[in-house]
Amino acid sequence: MKCPHRKLLNPDGAQRCDCGFDSSSKKVLKSYVASDQYSSSVPRDFEMIATLCVRLHRKLLVYSVGAGLMILAVRVTGINSGQ
């Protein structure tokens, strides 16, 4: 079950999330976890890594298309770099 408040994963049938969300009353009660644990940089690190991967993928795609177009241009024009 995914908590609607903090999107944390909980076992199915859990009455209360670690963030304090009570599934029966639909209210956020006192958390079981210290508040400083939610301010960790882990989610931001994952977000940063995902962003870098997307940027790298886009660059590789652009370079691959460019290289393919260059090969195609060489074949169409009949240019041979060996002569």
Same domain, 45 and 31: no
Query: In terms of domains, do 31 and 50 share one?
Result: no
On whether both 1 and 28 belong to a single domain, the answer is: yes
- Considering the domain architecture, whether residues 31 and 69 belong to the same structural domain is answered as no
Quote the pLDDT of residue 42: 55
Say if pTM beats, i.e. exceeds, 0.85.
no
Q: Mean of the pLDDT values across residues 24-37?
A: 71
Closest CA to 38 of 74, 8, 1: 8
> In what helix (H) or strand (E) does residue 28 lie, and over which residues does it extend?
strand 27-28
Number of domains the chain contains: 2
What does the pLDDT read at residue 8?
Answer: 79
Provide the 8-state DSSP code for 16: B
| Range of the structural domain that residue 15 is part of | 1-35
